Amino acid sequence: DAGITQSPRYKITETGRQVTLMCHQTWSHSYMFWYRQDLGHGLRLIYYSAAADITDKGEVPDGYVVSRSKTENFPLTLESATRSQTSVYFCASSESASGGGTQFFGPGTRLTVL
Amino acid sequence: GENVEQHPSTLSVQEGDSAVIKCTYSDSASNYFPWYKQELGKGPQLIIDIRSNVGEKKDQRIAVTLNKTAKHFSLHITETQPEDSAVYFCAASWEGNTGFQKLVFGTGTRLLVSP
């Protein structure tokens, strides 16, 4: 039972480069989420998706792009990385968002932008 | 929007003692309050949750209480063990004007249980 996986686990990139973080879940959950975790801020929602081809902005979407062509995948792209995007990124999935469905988190990707 | 405040930011206890972490939320329409435990190098994992129609919920050594009037909820861990050491996050669901309930997280509490 793989659950939810993220790749890469660690990434170092340079300012201005494009980088894509991958997220894959095996539960066929409808909802998927991307969060970033920074000291003093907890987890902040970047983007979420209610189903394939349906995505919407969260609290901190600027500088990020998402797509969801397949239910099981939800990649997050930083089109032109900035140092302020250095963070730990978590993907999550949920079967339902009604009443706040339980979200299951991946192991995270630690991204460093030099 | 919803705002969740969490205290304390760090908590040190001796093994066997109890630990209490408190959170407050701002939107009275929030109706789902999960607690997550995050161990070093791992993603957050749900440990217990409570919905607004319930005042208290227990699961072995862990309990959560909810006071809707005061808009605060708390995590109680009894008989703490070293393996309870982790960062704990509270969250509250928030619908806003999108009709989609998102989770808003607190800033986390680092719990250290000393043997």
**At CB < 8 Å, which residues of chain B contact A?**
1, 6, 31-32, 34, 36, 41-46, 49, 51, 89, 91, 93, 98, 100-108
Tens-place pLDDT, residues B63-100: 999 999 999 999 999 999 999 999 999 999 877 666 67
Report the alpha-carbon distance of residue B74 to residue B95 in Å, rounded.
22
Res B98: pLDDT: 64
Q: Which residue of B has its CA nearest to A33?
A: B102
Distance CA A30, CA A55 (A): 11
Q: Do A43 and B44 touch (CB under 8 A)?
A: yes
pLDDT confidence of B1, banded at 50, 70, 90?
confident
Q: How far is CA A63 from CA A78, A89, B7, in A?
A: 6, 14, 31
Average pLDDT over chain A, rounded to an integer:
92
Least confident of A14-28, A86-100, B26-40: A86-100
- How confident is the model at residue A95, as a pLDDT? 84
Q: Is the pLDDT of residue A88 over 80?
A: yes
pLDDT at B96: 63
Q: What whole-number distance in Å separates Cα of residue A74 and Cα of residue A52?
A: 9
